[in-house]
Every structure is written in structure tokens, then in C-alpha cells.
Structure 1
Amino acid sequence: MSTTDHPGVAALRDLLRLHTVASDDPALTDPAPFVELRRLLREHFPLTHEMGEVVDVPPHGLLIRVAADADSPTAAADPVVLMAHMDVVPLGDESRWAHPPLAAEVVDGAVWGRGTLDDKGQLVAVIAAVESLLADGQRPAREVWLSFGSDEEVMGSCAGSAVEILRSRGVAPWFVLDEGGAVASGAFPGVTRPLGVVGVSEKGVLSLRLTASGRGGHASRPAKGGPAARMAAAITRLERRPFPPHLSPATVEMLRRLAPHLPAPVRPVAERAGRFPTALARLMVAAGPEAAALARTTIAVTTLSGSPAINVTPTSVRAGLNLRIAVGETTTAATERIRRIVGKDIEVEVAEEHDPSPVSPVDDAAFALLERTITAVFPEAVPVPYVMYAATDSRHFTRICPRVYRFAPFRMSPEQRESIHSHDERIGVDDFLDGIRWYRTLLDSLAGGTTDHSGATA
């Protein structure tokens, strides 16, 4: 059988053809693609649906409980939650795609389309691994819950509802695994090997609306210091006064583990990252946007609006800011800093705020299991913890679990990582199949590690 004929690839291509875009307003979300996606999951993965317990999660998500092997010594141990999400971001400018974003074409050994990496590829890989386990007449060594959300991209309510359902059933997971890191090549300056980056926390999210107001009027009689000029000056001040860099303990641990793979001149400094956090943070800021995002709170100006006509000076100019808040900082402090920088004549309104997630442990059996599984399937990769600078549904699960990790078991080049939320999103067919193999290896290894009721893992 050709790899492109693999049932998992067929399922992925079917799901990619569905335009499952959620809206900030649930009433504006078209339910039909989500209903069809659920139907296709039942069609492609019948054993998981027949042998598992399927629980609907509003608005369009689901939980699937897969019972443990009754004869397993860890059958009564704390369960594992494996996550993904059904929804995708809009297609953007379709003319920029090399292949149509909803066609799910297989070209040059890759499946192309919106959602291949974020996050239908992971969704299909998870459930395909469970299906293969059940098809082999086996069950996992401990209970497994699959949690598939439907509004992650708009930071909706589905994941929070899933958490409340699990809480009502008394489910206290051993660990939770969601999207996030990957087997990333070219991810860190000076490191030639790919990194198996596992997110142990998430930066916080803060969205702000800035408004500069004035009288406005005819463009033939412009006045100095109007709303547009004041907003431009405020944005320039923000760019010139970025948040100070610093290293969180998780980033210090990442550098310590990376040290053997770094160029010799910087290796001793990375090995002692905890002693030189300021100097290393500055080096990371200078190393490029990916490394810099690990070392500071970031600010992105995402929206701008002003006059409705080119010959009218605006009565108000609005800008949207999206900040990703570093671990150890808060959205409240970040908002106050923005207010001080932009000045009193710019109104600052908080549109959304979530503080950084708690940091999950890297020194216990759960993280060690993820490391071993990465090494088993991707021996070329160096497993390391890191702080995710994007937000995922998993942040809700920190309410019921102290071990929340973020890792997508797919090889991703820098170009592929840039395609997420952009054009030409695609995943290699062989890389996708290795992702299924990674989840199956994880499922086959769940007997390792036990958790007592205090939350400590032995």
C-alpha cells in the first residue's frame, strides 16, 4: 500500500476539505462543516466510536473515553487526556497558495491545505493511533480521553466545557497533551539537530484597543497633532520601548539541555544559564524573532483603522495590540506599562486577557515518558522543554491537572512553521505517518508511572 493510500491520510484529506471556521460570535458559526467532520470521524474510525464512550461538548466538540485494559496493573491509575481541535483559521488570500487550501492535494510528498499542521493533522493522528490499538485487539494500560475542541482559534468556550465535564466525573488526569511544540529543524541558532520541543507553559495573552480622538474635518485644512499623528507616535514609542528581556526557569532549563549541542564558545554559558540570565536573554533577543519571543513579553500591532474617506481627517484612529505575556509577568502590569508609554491622550481598553499558564514539571515520570517517546520515534531530535508563545485550549486543563504539555509529533521546517495561519500550510505524508506512530508508541507505553492522590508521581 502506498503511503498516500494509508487510511489515516485519506481521513486527513477528507477533513481538510471542510471549512471549519469558528466565529467569535457562536451564532455566526456555520455548524454544517462541523457536523460533517463528526460524521467523517465516525466513518473513518468506527472502532474508537463503537468501543469508546462519546460525549458531546458544546458548541461542536467531543470527548471520547477509551477504557483501560481491565487486566492492566495501571487500569485504575489516573487517565491521560490527548487533545486537538477541529476548527481552523480563515483561508486568507487564496491566490497566494501554491495549491488550493481546501483541495487537500498531495504534491511532492506532502498534503497541502488549511489545517494540516493546525490542527487537523494532530486530530487525525491521535484518533488513528487509538483506532490501530483497538484494531489490534488491545486497550491502553490506563484510561484515555480524547478531547477535540471546536473553537480554539477564537479562544472559545468548548475546551472550558470539556474541563467541566471531566471535573464533574471526577477525572484527574495524570497528564494532558495538546498541540504546541514539534520536531522543529532550524529552531535555535547554532543547533544543527532538530529539537523535540515540548511546551511546559504558555505565555499569557493580552489584547488591547487603542483609540486616539479628535475633531476631524476636511483634509484640506489639516491640524497638527491630530488622531492619526498621535497614534503613529504612540506606536513608534511602543516599538522603541519593548519589554525588558528575562529568562523564565523553563527557558533556563531549555538552555541547559541544549548546551551540549550549542557551539563551543557559548556552551559553558548555556550550561550555567541560571547564573547569567540577563546576558543570555539579550543574546536570545538578538538571535531572531523565534528566540526573542522566548525571552520577553512581545507586542504586535495587528489592526489599524481611521478615516472612512481619503479626503477626511479622522475623528478617531484605532489600533489593536496583541501582547504575549512572558512567564513571571501579568496582564495587569503589562496594561499599565502600555498606558504609561502611549500617554494620557491615547485611550487603552482591554479586549481580552489571560495570564501565563502554570509551568508543568520536567523532572517526573510524565515528562520522561514524552522524552522517551520522542527519542524512540525521532532519534535525530533533542527533546527540550520550552515556553509556548501561542495560546492553546490546554490552558483550561491546568484547572484539573498539574502536568499539561504541548507537543505535535511532526517534523516541521522553518517554512512550515511560518505557514501556520498563513499560506501554503502542508505536512509531509511520511512525517504525518510518523506522527501516528508516535501516538501509538505513547499509547503502548502508558503503563509507566503512577500518581498518588497528592499529585506526586512515582
Structure 2
Amino acid sequence: MSDAAVERFRDLLRYPTFSHAGAADVAEAFAGFHAALERHFPLVHETLEREVVAGRSLLYRWRGTGDGPAAVLMAHQDVVAVDDPDRWSHPPFEALLVGEGEERAVWARGALDDKAALGAILEAVESRLAAGFTPAADVYLVFGHDEEAGGTGAEAIVALLGERGVRPWLVIDEGGAVMDGLLPGLGPTAVVGVTEKGAMNVELVVEQSGGHAAIPLPGGSTAVLARAILRLENQPEAPHLIEPTIGLLAALGARMGGVRGWLLRHARTFRGPLARTLAGSSPQLAAMTRTTRAVTQLRGSSSMNVVPERASATLNVRILPGATVASAVADIERVIDDPDVRVRVIEGWDPAPVSPADGPAWEAISASIGDAFPEAAVAPYVMLQASDSRHFAAISEHVYRFLPFDLRQEELQSIHGIDERIRVSTYHRAIAFFEALVARL
């Protein structure tokens, strides 16, 4: 594959398409980014119908030869903030190409999340157009502009498609990846999200008498709040396995011998012990077994010598499928068990429905993974983060979450962090995956 694709990708990465509140020069960044898309992918923009939705989100329609159900390929244009560019090894928006051979990589904010998927989709469609290919039914490209800030663009696109009667047979967005060594001794596994956790932000508020710090009263607002936080910390939800996680364990067990492989293949029978084992193995695996609660913000007095009358904390809660916002709130209230602590939901949404790990959509994705990553097994899993794809549950029962990247642990950790980067070979394989998938549409 020519490095022309990499150069086009690098150009896309140079636009700081932020979506967080207060970001500067956003209009100019998105305008430049949209112009770059037109410049680099001329056949896409000559052939596909393009609409701008909700100000900056992009919806492309590639008309197929028949009138069957459509497919949707998704990515998002926006990137998260860069708090301190001086901490990066290379400037986050210069998209420098660094290294040799397999270590050759593009360093930039958005390299993994999520402009690599966006670029790979467009490279694949441009290539298929150049070859004279037309899909059997309509294909929509959906590129939201504010996934990192709530996904109002994707939500608006779903509403528009719903009004037009579009019911996709396949939706694919960012999500799992090809991971090596998920368990000791295990080869690469492509984990495809068949659902994702719900999320909510909750405020815990305590209002008590305050006053001068020189004469503190017992049982003040901060003490009551601290006790509530410690109760939540010390009483996490009991771990349990839901069906997608059982499917993941069974798929991993199919590649393992011995007692361990047998246990995983029979995960449904041993779901209790396996859930407890996973919960004690790592924070990542534990998060697959329960609804999680994390304290992210604390607020008290604005002065160092004043005991606050009002103390509050924000909890970020990730809700395991099978639970709801309402049940997660009830569980928080049960654990805190204190009428002086008020629990208020700031925002939240329920977990996404579970899409089937079989059938035509799953098989198309699995076969395309096999083409691009022949050494990888395919398994379902629960995506722990939120994505724009959750909105598509309103119009499709086949929504999947997969990034066609073979990621190392340090690369995975750079998402939303410092020194985000993607190896050139990984980007080439992502293009190959989408070319294979488009050929099946």
C-alpha cells in the first residue's frame, strides 16, 4: 500500500477538531478539516451524497444497486483536549512520522481516537469507487463532530435516518481492537463490542452547619460526604457475568487446553467463581463484571479557613447491561444509607441493547477481520466506554464496536493521554479491513 494514504492521514491529523467546551478556533479547524476531506477523497465527494447535520457532523449516502437494508460505517471527527503539549514527545498536531520498519508511527492527537478509523473508511471507499464497485444496497458514512462531548451530532443523524425509514442491517463504530495476550499464552484476539455500558454522572450533596475552621463542629458536611464515599468504595457491586462476557470467555477457552480452557468453555456453568476471579484479576476485567462508580470531582469551601455548609462529590458511573440508570441510583442510595446525603442524577443513559454474536452482520465483520488479521480469533465483548453507536440502537438491532487496529498496551494507554500514536502498519491493516468489509456490503 502506498504511503500516499499515510500522507493524507497525517494531513487530517493536523486540524485540532476539539469538541470540549471553551475550545478556541473550533470553526476554523472543522472548516479546514472538511476541506481536506474533499481534497483527499475526490471520488467520495463526486459520487456520494453529502449532508452536514447539526452544524458539523457529516452524513454520506452511497447508493446501492438494490433496495435492501443499508449498512452504516461510523467514526468521529473530534478529538479530546491536549492539556500540556510540552509533555508530548512530539507536538500533538504536527503528525510527525517517527521510526523505522514496524516501529514507524504517526504521532498526533486523534491518531487512534478516532481519525484513523475515519481515514481508513474513506480510503477504502475511495479505492472501491476507483475500481468501479457499487454496493448491493445503500451504505451510509456517519462522522459525528462531538462524540467526546456527548454525541449530539450522531444523535441528530440517527433521528434524520429514522424519519427516512432507514433500518440498517449492520452498524460498525469504534470499540474493541486486536489484542495480544488477553490471557497468558493466548494469541491475538479481535474483540468486537456487541453492547456498551450505560453511563451517568451523579452528584452527592451534603448540607450541614458550617462556620469558622477554628471552631469545627462534629459531623460536618465534609465528614458526612467522606463516609458516603468510603461506603461506595468499600462496597462495590457483587461481580457477575453477563452473556457477552460469557461469550468472550468461551471464545478464549476454545483456543486453550487444560483445565483452564475447559473452565472458560463452560463459563455459563461456572459463572459465579469466574466472575469473582475476573473481578480480582485487574481493574479492566473487574469493570466487565459490575457497574462501576468513580469519584471524579470534590467540592467544599472556597476558603481554607471556612468549614463548608455544602459539600459535594461527582460520581461517574458506568452501568453494566442488565442494569439501568434507575437501578444504579437505587444501589448507590442503598450503599450510602444516609438521609443527609442527597443523590442527584446530572445526566445519564441506560446500557445499549446487546447485538447478536451471529448472523449476517457478525459474519461480515468476522470474515473481514479474518482477511486483515488472519492470525486473530474473533470474540464478543462488552465495551466499557461510551460511543456514538449507542444512538443507533433506536433504528438497528445490529450495532457493533470494533477498531481494526492491532494495539500494544502502551498504544492503548495513549488514547486520551500523552503521546497518542499509531503504527503505519496498523493503519494499513485498518484500511485493508474496511476494504474487505465494503466488498461484502
- Please indicate the TM-score interval, normalised by the length of the shorter structure: over 0.9
Question: Match for 1:247: what amino acid?
Answer: L
Aligned to 1:299: 293
* Secondary structure of the corresponding residue to residue 210 of structure 1: strand
Q: Which runs of 5+ in 1 are unaligned?
A: 447-458
Aligned to 2:205: 211
Match of 1:352 among 343, 347, 362: 347
Aligned to 1:418: 413
Aligned to 2:75: 84
Question: Match for 2:9: what amino acid?
Answer: L
Q: Within 1, Cα distance between the matches of 2:31 and 2:210?
A: 48
* Secondary structure of the corresponding residue to residue 402 of structure 1: coil
RMSD value, Cα: 1.8
* Secondary structure of the corresponding residue to residue 261 of structure 1: coil
Aligned to 1:41: 37
Aligned to 1:195: 189
Q: Within 2, Cα distance between the matches of 1:316 and 1:50?
A: 59
Asked if residue 253 in structure 1 is aligned to residue 247 in structure 2, the reply is yes
Aligned to 1:318: 312
Q: Within 2, Cα distance between the matches of 1:261 and 1:96?
A: 41
Match of 1:101 among 74, 88, 92: 92
Asked if residue 339 in structure 1 is aligned to residue 336 in structure 2, the reply is no
Deviation, structure 1 residue 139: 2.2
Deviation, structure 1 residue 220: 2.1
Q: Within 1, Cα distance between the matches of 2:288 and 2:27?
A: 37
Deviation, structure 1 residue 344: 1.6
Aligned to 2:119: 124
Deviation, structure 1 residue 29: 8.4
Q: Within 2, Cα distance between the matches of 1:189 and 1:225?
A: 47
Question: Match for 1:54: what amino acid?
Answer: R
Q: Within 1, Cα distance between the matches of 2:383 and 2:428?
A: 25
Q: Is the 8 A contact 2:20 2:81 kept in 1?
A: no
Return the TM-score normalized by structure 2.
0.95
Match of 1:57 among 40, 53, 56: 53
Say how many residue pairs are matched.
436
Aligned to 2:434: 439
Q: Is the 8 A contact 2:16 2:26 kept in 1?
A: no
Check 1:362–1:58 CA distance in 2 against 1; reply closer, same or farther (3 A cut).
Answer: same
Q: Within 1, Cα distance between the matches of 2:199 and 2:56?
A: 24
Between 1:360-369 and 1:255-264, the stretch displaced more is 255-264
Q: What are the superposed Cα offsets for residues 111-132 of structure 1, whole Å, 9 maximum, x if unpaired?
A: 1111111111111111111011
Question: Match for 2:33: what amino acid?
Answer: L
Deviation, structure 1 residue 382: 1.4
Return the TM-score normalized by structure 1.
0.91
Q: Within 2, Cα distance between the matches of 1:224 and 1:254?
A: 50
Q: Within 1, Cα distance between the matches of 2:27 and 2:312?
A: 32
Q: What are the superposed Cα offsets for residues 61-106 of structure 1, whole Å, 9 maximum, x if unpaired?
A: 01111122x3xxxx33211100000111111232332222222111
Q: What are the superposed Cα offsets for residues 254-275 of structure 1, whole Å, 9 maximum, x if unpaired?
A: 1111103346231111111111
Q: Is the 8 A contact 2:154 2:391 kept in 1?
A: yes
Aligned to 1:277: 271
Match of 1:19 among 16, 20, 23: 16
Deviation, structure 1 residue 229: 2.0
Aligned to 1:221: 215
- Percent of matched pairs sharing the same residue: 43
Question: Match for 1:211: what amino acid?
Answer: V
Deviation, structure 1 residue 24: 5.5
* Secondary structure of the corresponding residue to residue 275 of structure 1: coil
Q: Is the 8 A contact 2:144 2:151 kept in 1?
A: no
* Secondary structure of the corresponding residue to residue 297 of structure 2: strand
Q: Is the 8 A contact 1:189 1:287 kept in 2?
A: no
Deviation, structure 1 residue 336: 1.2
Deviation, structure 1 residue 388: 0.6
Question: Match for 1:50: what amino acid?
Answer: E
Q: Is the 8 A contact 1:150 1:158 kept in 2?
A: yes
